[in-house]
């Protein structure tokens, strides 16, 4: 076997440290091309058609596996992705290149990158709690009600509260760490 720094598995690029920095970089390159195309055609198409392009060609790349790689430590890669998303929103709304994007995103019903990540993590946590997720994922989160056989205030008041796993070997940006935090918040 040969040692490799990166490997692609199910369109996710894994590196030797499981930091997803390389994947962040690849996704930002893909969405940068789409944002550039949107900038060139924004005056030729109406806003609803541009929104379809935004959803299908830009957000599809961001959302694929986001609950896995969205917590990547590479703040430079995430910041670039957020900048590209804002640029695409400005093209979509045909706004000035320095205009504020948050009210435009709210009008269109779109979420920022970080909010999209939290939504995906919360959906996965919900599926795990309600036993709608694949069997392999059901042990990723610990419910309070599974911790004790006797009744406690935390269990009776918040039966779906998920506790933080105290495992030293898990990656800091993994779902095992971010899932309970997002669910509890």
pLDDT digit string (tens) for 146-170?
Answer: 555 555 555 544 445 555 555 544 4
Q: Is the dihedral angle over the CA atoms 100, 102, 103, 109 positive or is it negative?
A: positive
Two tokens, residue 170: 């898990």
Global confidence as pTM: 0.80
Contact indicator for 92, 37 with CB cutoff of 8 Å: no
CA distances from 16 to 7, 21, 22, 50 (A): 8, 10, 10, 38
* Each residue's pLDDT tens digit, 79-136: 899 999 999 999 999 999 889 999 999 999 999 998 999 999 999 988 888 888 888 8
Q: How many CB atoms lie within 10 A of CB 153?
A: 8
CA nearest 93: which of 71, 110, 108, 82?
Answer: 108
DSSP symbol at 18: S
Phi, psi angles (nearest 5°) of residue 168: -75, -25
pLDDT tens-digit map of 18-70: 778 888 889 999 999 999 999 999 999 999 999 999 999 999 999 998 888 88
155: tokens are 């269990």
Residue 89 CA, distance from chain mean position: 18
């Amino acid at each position: 076997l040969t040692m490799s720094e990166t490997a692609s598995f199910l369109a996710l690029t894994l590196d030797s440290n499981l930091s997803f920095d390389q994947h962040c970089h690849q996704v930002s390159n893909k969405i940068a091309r789409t944002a550039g195309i949107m900038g060139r055609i924004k005056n030729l198409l109406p806003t609803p058609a541009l929104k379809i392009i935004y959803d299908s060609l830009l957000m599809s790349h961001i959302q694929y596996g986001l609950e896995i790689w969205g917590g990547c430590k590479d703040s430079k890669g995430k910041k670039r992705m957020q900048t590209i998303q804002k640029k695409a929103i400005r093209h979509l709304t045909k706004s000035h290149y320095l205009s504020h994007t948050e009210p435009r995103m709210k009008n269109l019903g779109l979420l920022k990158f970080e909010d999209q990540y939290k939504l995906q993590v919360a959906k996965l946590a919900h599926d795990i709690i309600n036993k709608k997720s694949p069997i392999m994922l059901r042990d990723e989160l610990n419910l309070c009600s599974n911790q004790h056989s006797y009744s406690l205030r935390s269990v009776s008041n918040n039966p779906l509260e998920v506790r933080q796993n105290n495992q030293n070997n898990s990656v800091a940006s993994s779902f095992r760490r971010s899932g309970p935090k997002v669910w509890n918040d």
